[in-house]
Amino acid sequence: MNFVIRRIAFYLVAFLVAATINFALPRLMPGNPIDVMFAQQNSTLTPEARDALVATFGFASGPLHLQFLDYMKSVFTGDLGYSIRFYPQKVNQVLAYALPWTLLLAGTATLMAFCVGSIIGTFAAWRRGGMLDAVVTPVSLALQATPAVVIALTALFIFGVALKWLPTGYAFAPALDPAWSWEFFGSVALHGLMPICSLMVVFVGGYLVTMRNNMIGQLGEDHVTMGLAKGLSDRRVQLNYAARNALLPSVTSLGLTLGAILGGSLVTEVVFNYPGLGQTLYIGIVTRDYPLIQGQLLIMTFATLLANLAVDLLYVFFDPRLRKA
Amino acid sequence: MFETLKVFLRNKKALIGLIIVLLYVAVAIFGPMLLNLDPMQRVGRPHQPPNADELLGTTRMGRDVFAQLIYGTRTSLAVGFFAGIIIVLIGTVLGIAAGYFGGWIDEVISFFTNVVLVIPQLPLLLVIAAFMGQTNPAVIAIIIGMTSWAWGARVTRSQTLTLRNREYILASELIGERPTRMIFVELLPNLLSIIGFNFIGSVTYTIITQATLEFLGLGNPMSVSWGTMLYHAQNASAISVGAWWEVLVPALAVAGIGVGLSLLNFGVDEISNPRLRTLGTVAAAIKAQKKLDQQRLAEVKP
């Protein structure tokens, strides 16, 4: 239990650091972010109107440490201020609408990539140098080094525009209203298929290679030889003796890649016009909606840290040594 | 040195990777000189498909895609190598400091590294870039360099730690060598493979990330790189109007260098860790053995 508590404390500090960066950034930049922001909106703003907007958007004046305290209070009460682009909506509302779509996209893709990658990696390592290994390993290396933008754009071009098999945008058919109906879920699945698959393809290679290399390391260990010598079936040795231990570093790498997956999901959403956090962030960037952009960083950091915590718990499950400590 | 090179070139993955990377570097250095064409110049009608005059077609603005590709290669590679150097410098200094000195220095550096490691990179980069306004390639390289050193620092630290406990380090400590000499003469040469690994990985990461940032509109649209090419293509809805060349050319360019660099990295990994090899030599040995067995069998039979 000690282990879990220490991890939670660590993530709390990491979150504080991210929040501090968020606080410091606009104040470190040359010029006044408020002026930059409003310059983008409309140039004819009376000083009174500007002051009113500054007050509404929460750019407090006064000593820095008081500003910081105010800011931290608003972060922990979950109040991220008003969005400029979607005014009068609050940043929370905008993000709350977008978050589930990103979780669906990134979550499903991660799960699929991790499972598929680890399973194929296990088999590639068991017969390294065989047909499967010779084909799959170089291909996954290539995929791993290909940016999400490229894969998403290529998929969009082939399946969306050239073949016209799958819809090229939105999370569900615009004519439908969200409802608990098969028709709606079918539409969501159809629209999600291409973004999820292209995101999965970007990340499957990394897990595959990690698993393969760990597994090869395991296969040279004594306990594997011992298992074989005992006369256990190949499958048993492969899965229960080697793969279970090889999974540990894979799970660690899963935690470390979560941030990257979220990043990949941002880009994929922009390409497929998918209404998640990435699409919202893109709109925020284009319109220089700083409160929205900053809220994004916080919520994404929060999501990543939460997912990392889940990975730590998974680790405890896989590694019994940690349960006692 | 020559022996190492020979081992390196015998590895097929490393060799192919090296050839691809050298090809890109050659294009980046000599391409613009040979081409002698302004990539921002209007050369023809918008969205011309590839033809004899414009080898890879034109963009929505009527610019030559081939010229943009050549100049873009220069920008993208320069950003990749520049940021790679920054990442390796920071990562190596922090990693060695943490691993060698230990104690509270290690505690502080490790904690800081781990924090940076869990904060999602791309959103952070996006926020920084958004506050800087439209950023030039050099600025992008610096931002990426300053935020992406954590992984390298961690790997370098753990490698330094294992070296730290070797007997030869203990011996030189007993002789009374100074820390500077220990680090530069005893440690650094043994860390070179890790540092090289880190550098290649960082260059790949930077090139991909730069393309992503610029695709999202955070670059300077007047600069020519693969990322801005993708950005302009996306803005011109190139895919929907069927101008595939405007999108696929920069996309394949990014993918190509990524594949080359990671093959190189994987090859280096295989050379330093023989277990990972796909066993081409072992397969050959088994084949030879079988042949020998058959020969012997044939000899015994009559």
The per-residue pLDDT for B85 is 93
* CB contact at 8 A, B247 and B239: yes
B113-166 pLDDT, tens digit per residue, is: 888 888 888 888 888 887 777 678 888 888 888 888 888 898 888 888 888 888
Cβ-based contacts under 8 A for chains A and B: 163
To test the contact with chain A by mutation, choose from B132, B210, B239, B257 the residue with the greatest count of A C-beta atoms within 10 A, namely B239
Judging contacts by C-beta atoms under 8 Å, the chain A residues touching residue B151 are 256
Closest Cα in chain A, distance from residue B125 (Å): 10
The per-residue pLDDT for B148 is 87
Looking at residues A86-100, what average pLDDT do you find? 79
A148-178 pLDDT, tens digit per residue, is: 888 888 888 887 777 777 777 776 766 666 7
pLDDT over 60 (residue A215):
yes
Angle B207-B208-B212 (CA atoms, 0-180°, nearest 5)? Answer: 115
To test the contact with chain A by mutation, choose from B15, B110, B212, B275 the residue with the greatest count of A C-beta atoms within 10 A, namely B212
pTM of the model: 0.81
Angle A207-A211-A216 (CA atoms, 0-180°, nearest 5)? Answer: 155
CB atoms within 10 A of CB B293: 10
Looking at residues B238-258, what average pLDDT do you find? 81
* CB contact at 8 A, A25 and B129: no
CA–CA dist B109, B95 (Å, integer):
8
Say if A282 is an interface residue toward chain B (CB within 8 Å).
Answer: yes
The per-residue pLDDT for B90 is 93
Q: Is the ipTM of this complex over 0.90?
A: no
The per-residue pLDDT for A33 is 59
Write the Ramachandran bin of B143: left for phi over 0, alpha for psi from -120 to 50, otherwise beta: alpha
Looking at residues B221-231, what average pLDDT do you find? 84
Higher pLDDT, A109 or A253: A109
In this complex, do A147 and B255 lie within 8 Å of one another by their Cβ atoms? yes
- Nearest chain B residue to A284 by CA distance is B130
Give the lowest-confidence range in A311-320, B91-100, B106-115.
Answer: A311-320
Residues near A234 by beta carbon (within 8 Å), at least 6 away in sequence: A126, A228
Closest Cα in chain B, distance from residue A152 (Å): 10
CA–CA dist A90, B252 (Å, integer):
40
Write the Ramachandran bin of B200: left for phi over 0, alpha for psi from -120 to 50, otherwise beta: alpha
In this complex, do A290 and B212 lie within 8 Å of one another by their Cβ atoms? no
The per-residue pLDDT for B82 is 92
The per-residue pLDDT for B255 is 86
Looking at residues A305-318, what average pLDDT do you find? 83
Q: Which of B239, B266, B279 sits opposite A128 (nearest CB)?
A: B279
Judging contacts by C-beta atoms under 8 Å, the chain A residues touching residue B279 are 128-129
Closest Cα in chain A, distance from residue B278 (Å): 5
The per-residue pLDDT for A165 is 75
A252-308 pLDDT, tens digit per residue, is: 788 778 778 888 888 888 888 888 888 888 888 777 777 788 888 888 888 888 888
Judging contacts by C-beta atoms under 8 Å, the chain B residues touching residue A37 are none
- Nearest chain B residue to A138 by CA distance is B263
Residues near B277 by beta carbon (within 8 Å), at least 6 away in sequence: B11, B270
Whole-number percent of chain B with pLDDT over 70: 89
In this complex, do A297 and B239 lie within 8 Å of one another by their Cβ atoms? no
Residue B232 structure tokens = 């302009």
The per-residue pLDDT for A237 is 83
pLDDT band at B246 (very low <50, low <70, confident <90, very high): confident
- Nearest chain B residue to A157 by CA distance is B239
pLDDT over 60 (residue A56):
no
- Nearest chain A residue to B212 by CA distance is A149
Say if B247 is an interface residue toward chain A (CB within 8 Å).
Answer: yes
pLDDT over 60 (residue A44):
no
Q: Of B136, B138, B146, which is closest to residue B219 (Cα–Cα)?
A: B136
Say if B119 is an interface residue toward chain A (CB within 8 Å).
Answer: yes
The per-residue pLDDT for B300 is 72
In this complex, do B115 and A17 lie within 8 Å of one another by their Cβ atoms? yes
Q: A 99-158 residues with CB below 8 A of B?
A: 128-129, 133-134, 137-138, 141-142, 144-150, 153-154, 156-157
The per-residue pLDDT for B83 is 92
pLDDT over 70 (residue B2):
no
CA–CA dist B20, B261 (Å, integer):
8
Looking at residues B75-90, what average pLDDT do you find? 91
Say if B255 is an interface residue toward chain A (CB within 8 Å).
Answer: yes
Q: Which residues pair with B135 in a beta bridge?
A: B219
Judging contacts by C-beta atoms under 8 Å, the chain A residues touching residue B276 are 213, 216
The per-residue pLDDT for A238 is 84
Q: Which of A25, A146, A296 sits opposite B128 (nearest CB)?
A: A25
Q: Report which DSSP code applies to B63.
A: B
pLDDT over 80 (residue A66):
no
Q: A 147-206 residues with CB below 8 A of B?
A: 147-150, 153-154, 156-157, 160-161, 168
- Nearest chain A residue to B115 by CA distance is A14
Closest Cα in chain B, distance from residue A216 (Å): 7
pLDDT over 60 (residue A97):
yes
- Nearest chain B residue to A133 by CA distance is B278
Judging contacts by C-beta atoms under 8 Å, the chain A residues touching residue B269 are 213
Judging contacts by C-beta atoms under 8 Å, the chain A residues touching residue B146 are none
Looking at residues A53-64, what average pLDDT do you find? 62
